Structure formats: C-alpha cells, structure tokens
Chains A and B, each alone.
Chain A
C-alpha cells in the first residue's frame, strides 16, 4: 500500500498525518525527543503502524533550526566582512523598542568581535568593482579561526547584493584551503540590500548549518535503513517544500516551517471550501500564531525577526517567511498578578513539564488550560483525548491561590484568565489585519492547533467576524498543510530600475530572465525537469526616493516597452490601495522577486458522503459551562468522532474529540461540512 506522509516536530509533540490512495487519513502523535529529534519521527511512524517502505512521498517540518538559535546550541561561527564594517553585526540599526529604559541592552551578536574579520576590496552599489579584492590576509584569518575552534564561517561583503563575485571568490578560496569547514555567503541566501540584515542572516545560517547537516543526515539515514525509497522533502518558511540537498545548504530557510505549513494549510483549506479571505490562528501550548490569507494566498515577508519583543530589537532574518504574528498565549500560558493587582496571562508558559496544574505533574501555576477546565469548557474526564484524568484538586488549588491575590473567587479568576488571553489574541489579530489596512470583519476565522476550537468563537465575536472554521484534524493541522505544498524557491534581487528610463523594459526582462536561468540551473542540477517548473514574477516598486515599496505581480515572458506604462499604473493603484493616495512622482523598481515552483504530487482532499443518522446519536451528555462573556449555560456535549458530514446543531454546546475541543457559545450554529470541518456561524451567519 502506498501513502503520503507528513511529520511535523513541534515543541511538545511530533505529529504525523498520512493519507492512503483511497483518501483515508490517519494521524499520530509522539513525544518530541530533543537532542535526537529523528527518534521522535521514527517513534511516531511506529506508533501509527505504517511502514516507510510504503511511503510515496514524505514531507518533514522541524523546529531544529529555531531551537538551535533560541537555545544557543549552534556551532561556533565566524564572520568575514568588508574592511571598515566589522561592527555592523553588533551595531544593528540602533533602535530601542523599550524606550524609557536607560539600561536597554542590544541583542548580543552571534559572532564575538574577535571572530569578525575584515578583508579589503569594494564593489559599488552599481555592481562595479571599485577596489580589488585582496585575499592576502585570508590564510592568517583562517588559521586564527581554526585555533579558536570555528566550525562555520559566514561571509557578508558590502554591496554583494548587486554583484556577488567577491563573496564567491572568498568562498572558493576557503573551500580550497579548508574544505571541512562549513561556509555560507550572504548572496547564496538573498540578494536584497541592507548589510546588517544580510550579515545577521548569513551568520545565523552558518550558526545552524552544522547541526542541520547532522540532523538531516541522521534522519534520512534512519528512514533509508527502514526502507524508505522516496525522496524526502523539507518544509520551508515560505510555505513550500524543498529537497534535503537544498535544505542542507541553506538551513536558515527552515526557521518557521511549522507555522508556515499551518498558515499554508489554512489557505489551501480556504481555497477548497470557498473561503479565500481568512485569518488563520494556530493556538498551541506555548503561543498563538496568526497569519492573514487574502484571495487564497498567504503573504510572505523578508523582514522576519527572532526574539523580537517590546524589550528587544531581536535578530533579523532576511529570508521569505510567511507573514505572521506570534504571542505568548497558549494552553500552557501562566496567569500571574503584578504588584498593582493586575492580572496577566503569559508570555511565560508551563511548557510540557510540569505543564498546567491539571497535568498533576507538580505545576502550581494556573494556566489557560486550567481555567478552561474550571469553566467547564474542557472535560476533566476527557483530558488530552482521554489519555489522562485531569488533576482537579491541583488546578483548583492553583486557581484559588490566584483568586486570593486578586480578592475574588476561583470562577471569577478563571473567567478573567480566559478573557485576558482572548483579548491578547484579539490584539494580535488586529496587528496583522487592521494595522495593515484590512478589516477583520471581511474575513473568516480558521482556528486550529490544540486550543483553536476552544477560543475561536469568542475571538470572532470580539472581532466582528461572522464565520469560523475549525478544521478536521485541527490538532495536527500543520502536518496536514505540508501534504498540500509544492516545491518552492524564492529568489530576491535588489536592483533599481527607473520605469521612466529608455532601458526600463529591457532591464526588467533581463532581471527576471537571469533569475529564471539561475532557478532552472539549480533545478536541473537536482534532476527536476523544467516542464514541472513554473514561475511567478513579482516586483517591489516605490515612488522615487521613498522607502516603502509595494509588491505587485508581473506578467511572464518578454516585457515589451509598451507594457511599462501598464506596470506603472498597476503599481500606482496597488500603492493607493495600501497607502490611500497616489503621486505624480517617478516610479522605480527596487527588488525583483521570482518564485519558482516545481509541482510535486500533492494530497487532493476527498469529499465525504453525508453521514446517515441523527445528530442526537453523537450527544454524550450535558453540563454547565461558563462561556465567560457569553454567560453561564447548560451545554450539550457532543462526541466529535461520531459527528459526520451534514450534521448540524446550535450552541450552547461543546464538541469533544481526541485532538481538540470546540466551544460553541449560545446562538452559534455549527455544521459539519463535506470535508469534516466544523463550520460555525455567528448570529446565523453560517450557510
């Protein structure tokens, strides 16, 4: 039997989803095994009782890159840069988000100053060499690096975005004289300008490269030994997958692969069920992540940051990452009271150990999950899919302690936790919607992750959203999203082309053609046939001298001179949509963005026939539930595993299934659609 398989390593669990040719779906979850992540993958395969020899395709997403960075467990890295620019990595951009703090400290660079070394040679912004590269000092620098135990070298030279030849020469020389060391040059990752962001990106890539190499080698080794014959793909932060070979070369592009596949899954699901404009929210154990889907497409940015917060400028990573906002609001988020008796939830999390007080593993802090049990939203006797019995005395104790500090009772404290957690998530959704000029009321909320169904309706009601989808398989939704991804690479090149110039059309064509050639060269080196490859062209344009650019899509093929005016108008209207006005000023292209997509065999979700039988057959019972803002009601409890396509009911209700709980407040209609998703409508908004 052949099957498609996706595995997703998360902070707590390693998830697996497989689909057989007849469309039947299986899932599994095992503990994540830090330090030896491939073990968790093999465990979950074994737990599902499936055989790697049957895998037709295998997609894998992993947090190994982001973990290596946040836990500071990467390799000893060094940086080679242009003479005069040694401290760019430490200076950053000079901003200070924590703006009353006189003791603000910048994020500490991943390469200390003595491992940041300079070499002479300059390329101008136009890509012309103005001072020849002088590698005379390089052997001595490399000797120093060897002595200092350096394992990986990043190279970032000023203006390499416009002409990478100096960086290429440095790479070549290092490979010659020190073949064992891991090397990455900034132009191999991106050709966008801004030397600090590109340096930091190259440095972080070098920092994780040895770890990622070893991990991917072990994983493919183990799968090979187990008889897997298909080529594995690795999930990327740009919502595509890539080959192991490419992922090994530039591992930094894996940095947000899990969240990317979740948002991508939501986009794919939205296209499938006709919800092209959606807010995706993934509520996990530690954080909630939300992203925006417009016209069935996700938005990518190249201004991603690691560890950015209101207290820290963070570390920029200039690779295409799905545009999302992440906040510390998940099931394990800890509730606490400050010295002024104000209640807060998160960002600290109880994690998997000790976990919420209800785990009975020694946790004494009340968490969002504990509050949901207290309010009756989560069934203490069907906790974590019935695998454990919630430790009710422990959670009641934790909530009582919190309530005493607040001067209130346990129930009120629990309600406060939920309302504040919800409010935090609402503000995060506003960040990705209203703060970008979009009204969330025009969107559908697609909520997944362990806590998606618990909070979705409350969030929607606060935001004025009328339609909510809680997907089938919402507990392993990120893994499901991987099965729907194509092989995708993004190529970015900063190069200014004035649309008014005589050469504009030729320059535009030339830019894209050169990127397309590079893409095809890479694909053919990996035996990917060009007939499978298609290109999407985007240009980032701006009014001359402005900083903000707007990305617009461009036609394929030769760009004839007559098309330039059309492109300019296309930009002007896109700019007006985003910034509310248009100008007579000249327009210029700042950055070429080429997306190369190679089709891979993907999952095609199958419709399910309508279930027979009445919905009452799925009723488990009834209990009192405190819906926080929506009041206290006696709710009908449904067994989600017995609900089928076409069944419908109304709140107050709770749906319990192994992977998730769906809270249906009073007045909300719920229907199971032809793909098994929960479709919820506020005020009769459901179809």
Chain B
C-alpha cells in the first residue's frame, strides 16, 4: 500500500494505540477479583515502545500514567542477554527500588510484543493487590520500618515463559499471600489485559506493516513533546522556589528551573528519609512531578514519553524522595499528593492568573472495620475521601471530589455502605466550616457521619492538610482542614488526623470532615449578587458572608452610593 508516511494512517495508528490501552483497562477491570481494582479503580494500563518509552495509557487514575514505562526499562536492563526475552514471556515487578515505582501492593505485569523476531512494543498494567504478605493483613502498615515488612519483593521476575506460567514462581506467590484466591484472580486479570494489548498491537502491525507502525509510534512521541513544548512557552522562564511547612516534621523545599525547553524540579534539599513508611521512590517522585507538570502545562489527555521529555527531576539519595534501601514505602500515596501539590503551588505563586488555588489535597485514606451488626461477618472499609478543590481564575472551586491523584474513582453510595458494612450513614453533605472565601471561592468540603452499630470497630487514618491549610491565590482565604471527629456516646468529641487502630463502639460516630478548597482572588471583589446567592443557597452562613465578604456593609454602601 502506498504512502508509508501518510499522516492520516499515522493518526489512525495512534488513536488505535489509545483504544488498545483503553481496551486493556476494560479487560483488567472486568476480570479483577478485588474491589479496590474494579471499584476504586486503583489500577492502570499502558503501552510502551520497544525501548520502554510510554506510547499510550488507558483510562483510570493519573497517578499511574507514568509508572509502567519505568518498569519496562528496568526489565529490559535486567534481561539484557540474547534469549532472555522471548515471545509469550510476561514479567512481574512490585519493587519500588527496581521499576515497581509505588509500593509492594501494586503489582505490575509487562509483556513484550514481538513481530517476527523483533520487539515492537510492550504492554503493561498495574493493579493494587489486596495482600502481598508482610507484617499485617493487607500488607500496608504505618508501623513498618523496612520494606521487608511490607510484603514479598518481586524485582522484574519472569512469570510466564513462552506463554506458559512458571508454576514454581506462582507457588511462591500464593504461599506468601494471605488471600491466595484473590491473588490468583487478580493475576489472571492482569495476564488477560496484557495479552489483549498484545493482540491489538499485532493487528495494527499486520495491517499497516512494522515500519509504518514503528514510525507512527515515534511520531506520536514527537507529537506529545510538541504539545508539551508549546505549553511550556506559557510558563515564564526563570527560577521558582517554594518552602512549605508540613503538618508534621521539617518543611519541604522545591526549586523549579524553567527554560524554553526544560522544566527541572530540584528536590535535593529535603528531609532525610523517614524511619517509617512515609517515603517515596525516586521514580515515584518523578511520577508525581510528571502529574504536576502535565496539569500546569497541558491538561489534554495525550500523555506519552514525549510529553515528559522537557521534565527533569533531581533528588538526594537518602531523602524522603529517594530513600536508601530498605526503607519502607507503604504510605507513598499521601507523599505523592503532597509533592504534586507542592510543585503545583510553587508554579502557581508566579502564575496565579492561570492556575487554581490549593485544594484539600489529601487522599484522606480511611480504613475502618469490625463486625457487621446484622450478618456477624467481619467487614473492612478502605476508601479515599471526597473534598473541596480551590477556586480557579475562572470559577468557584469544585466541591466534593477526590484528590488530584484520582480520576475515574467513585465513592461508595450511603445505601450500599449501610448494607455492606452494617453501619448507619447519618450524614453525607457539605459542612459549614470557615474557609475558602474569595473572588472565586473554594469548593466545599464534605462531611460524612458513619454511626457504628456494633462494638469494637477500629479506625486508622493518615490525613495531611490538617494543620497547614489549603493555600489561596491572589488574596483569597485559606481553605479548611481535613480531620476526623469521633463523637462518643457521652457526647464528647475527639479530633484526629493521623491515628491507628482507634476503638469505636456501638452508637458512636466516625465523622469525616474534609477540607474546603482555598479561595482565588480577593473576597471583597466578589459580586454581591453572588454572595447573596451563596447565602440563599447556604454555601455561606449570613455571619460568614459578613465576616469574609462584608455583605451587609457593602450592601449599605452600594445602596447609599
């Protein structure tokens, strides 16, 4: 067929790659055993080029977009002898120090796609497995002091050889897991997903030819790079710096050097690694910066290896962003949202007319469990929480939404939660806490009341942005904190943001309160009609309207003038 470099053909191949990554995602979600994969969608899929550069990624959550390419590169580096990688092989990684990026619970499968004797691409997916061994059920513990306590470490090992499952490897996996049935189901889901991707890519290669395919992938990266470079022109060159106080521990610092073709994030001047699991791998620090880079430059969906070419991330070995082996990393996700928020904030200080104010910016990971009041079975809730986002240059912030790490993540309806967990959901609406006033106000945070219907429930949370509040822009007001209140039977109220294994009894309430986003712009500039609307709608109490917007005073003046 004529026109090897016909741009339409290249475009069709590129959109087919995207469709293949989406199809891999559907397959993974469809066949997964674990709720955290198929409901919370704590999973992702991707396709890389033959060298491990990201070529396309499926739907899901943005926090996983830049992970899989790093895995493929590590697998390629490790298996570097002829015959190490063969058609039908599938490799497996969860080691954050060796291409696994996140934490041991996230298991990545990668598969080479061969056309004749050459690798033309890789297909890959990542999914949170319920249990990978370690010191506690579920493998994540705030008490962990080294990674060995967080589960078995799989560092780019071969799981399938020439299409056949390596039985011995599989037996090691199942023997070291508390929930081998779930492991088996989730593993086969991952296998189905990489294989679907392989099939689709081969269809494309067979239809258009290997050279055209490879050329299309290369051009796609160039396109990703073009989009980023064009967007980078909108970020004024120069040095950006921010030092930010944290809820606990010493402050964090970031320097971003922006030039016409580079965006260099320097994280070297930061605290030494944590003794517990509050660390992130260097690769994860890069992923976090990639997310921030993408969000502040070009939020369109295209995201591939080319997109991130202008970005460089510098870390110091032995710090929280690049810890020395064998530091624990179970709670990396709260570090990720903090770092993403830090970089975004650093840039937005100088570009307040283009970017929104700070949001509640916490995963608000909430774990509680106990005995179901009606069935007598044990239940456990593992969920992120919804909170308010910051006011933007164009509009009020969005209320009640998951953090920037999440994308297609859904909350659990009260009606489903009541049946599944045997607790009573007494409240699921916005709260009235102060915060977020501005020309464009922050989106409201959410309050959820879970009333226990049986004794001896336990609660574990690790929220940030509880003391240091969401940051405003252009004279807006701070947002409000993320916290949990326990309403005891005697009516007393305790307040928490980080707590482990707290006992909550029948009739007592776990009240989750997430932050309202910060305000953008001076509240005094907000149109009085909008303030009155906010009062009418109860987004503001009358008292808040007077305190933050001087509603009555301004009304009197405008009446007089």
Contact = CB atoms under 8 A, between A and B. Distances in A.
Interface of A: 84-88, 90-106, 112-114, 124-126, 130, 158-159, 161, 193-197, 310, 339-343, 406, 415-416, 419-420, 423, 427, 430, 434-437, 496, 545-548, 578-581, 583-584
B400 A415 contact: no
Interface string B388-418: 0100101100111110101111110111101
A496 B429 contact: no
A165 to B, nearest CB: 16
Contacts of B394: 103
B35 A90 contact: no
Nearest 10 Cβ contacts at the A-B interface: A99-B407, A91-B400, A87-B429, A84-B427, A113-B537, A100-B299, A435-B26, A416-B8, A101-B299, A125-B419
Looking at chain A's contact residues, is the secondary structure mostly helix, strand, loop, or mixed? loop
Contact of B401 (A106, A125, A130, A423): A106
Contacts of A547: 35, 38-39
Contacts of A95: 402, 406-410
A105 B419 contact: no
Contacts of A130: 424
B416 to A, nearest CB: 6
8 contacts: A87-B444, A94-B402, A97-B59, A102-B295, A104-B398, A340-B227, A340-B230, A430-B19
A90 B295 contact: no
B11 to A, nearest CB: 6
B38 A419 contact: no
A420 B386 CA distance: 39
B537 A112 contact: yes
B6 to A, nearest CB: 8
B402 A85 contact: no
Nearest to B408: A95
B413 A194 contact: yes
A87 B19 contact: no
Given A84-B429, A161-B415, A193-B415, A423 B12 contact: yes
B237 to A, nearest CB: 21
A196 B417 CA distance: 13
Contacts of A435: 22-23, 26-27
B414 A85 contact: yes
A232 to B, nearest CB: 37
Interface string B27-48: 1001101010011000000000
Contact of B428 (A88, A96, A415): A88
B543 to A, nearest CB: 18
Nearest to A197: B413
Interface in B176-223: 181, 185, 188, 192, 196, 223
A497 to B, nearest CB: 12
A96 B291 CA distance: 15
Contacts of B413: 93, 193-197
B8 A419 contact: yes
B400 A581 contact: no
B398 A580 contact: no
Nearest to A496: B419
Contact of B181 (A106, A419, A579, A583): A583
Contacts of B430: 87, 90-91
A579 B34 CA distance: 13
A580 B355 contact: no
Contacts of A126: 374
Most chain B CB within 10 A, of A92, A103, A112, A342, is at A103
A74 B23 CA distance: 37
Contact of A94 (B196, B401, B536): B401
Nearest to A106: B398
A94 B11 contact: no
B8 A94 contact: no
B303 interface: yes
Given A88-B414, A113-B539, A584-B181, 9 more contacts: A85-B414, A94-B411, A98-B301, A103-B392, A103-B394, A194-B413, A416-B8, A435-B26, A547-B35
B185 to A, nearest CB: 6
Contacts of B59: 97
A420 B11 contact: yes
B427 A100 contact: no
Contacts of B392: 102-103
B185 A91 contact: no
A100 B31 contact: no
B415 A103 contact: no
B415 A105 contact: no
Contacts of B99: none
B475 interface: no
A496 B374 CA distance: 13
Interface in B517-561: 536-539
B62 interface: yes
Given A91-B446, A105-B395, A194-B413, A343 B429 contact: no
Contacts of A579: 30-31
B415 A548 contact: no
Given A126-B374, A343-B11, A100 B291 contact: yes
Given A105-B398, A343-B11, A435-B26, A97 B407 contact: yes
A124 B418 contact: yes
A420 B12 contact: yes
B376 to A, nearest CB: 13
B8 A343 contact: yes
A94 B62 contact: no
A581 B31 contact: yes
A100 B307 CA distance: 13
Interface string B1-31: 0000001100110011001001100110011
A464 to B, nearest CB: 9
Contact of B15 (A106, A124, A423, A545): A423
Most chain A CB within 10 A, of B15, B22, B410, B419, is at B419
A88 B417 CA distance: 14
A93 B384 CA distance: 12
Contact of A88 (B26, B402, B429): B429
B294 interface: yes
B351 to A, nearest CB: 12
Contacts of B414: 85, 88, 158, 195
Contacts of B299: 98, 100-103
B356 interface: yes
B538 A193 contact: no
Contacts of B223: 340, 342
B273 interface: no
Most chain A CB within 10 A, of B223, B389, B414, B426, is at B414
Interface string B444-463: 10100100000000000000
A1 B401 CA distance: 61
A196 B537 CA distance: 19
Contacts of B319: none
A104 B192 CA distance: 33
A100 B188 contact: no
A339 to B, nearest CB: 7
B350 interface: no
A94 B31 contact: no
Given A125-B415, A159-B415, A91 B8 contact: no
B154 interface: no
A289 B354 CA distance: 38
A437 B192 CA distance: 11
A193 B418 CA distance: 11
B291 to A, nearest CB: 7
Interface in B258-282: none
A607 to B, nearest CB: 40
A86 B401 contact: no
A101 B38 CA distance: 23
Nearest to A545: B420
B402 A114 contact: no
A548 B291 CA distance: 31
A114 B538 contact: yes
A415 B12 CA distance: 13
B410 A93 contact: yes
Nearest to A341: B7
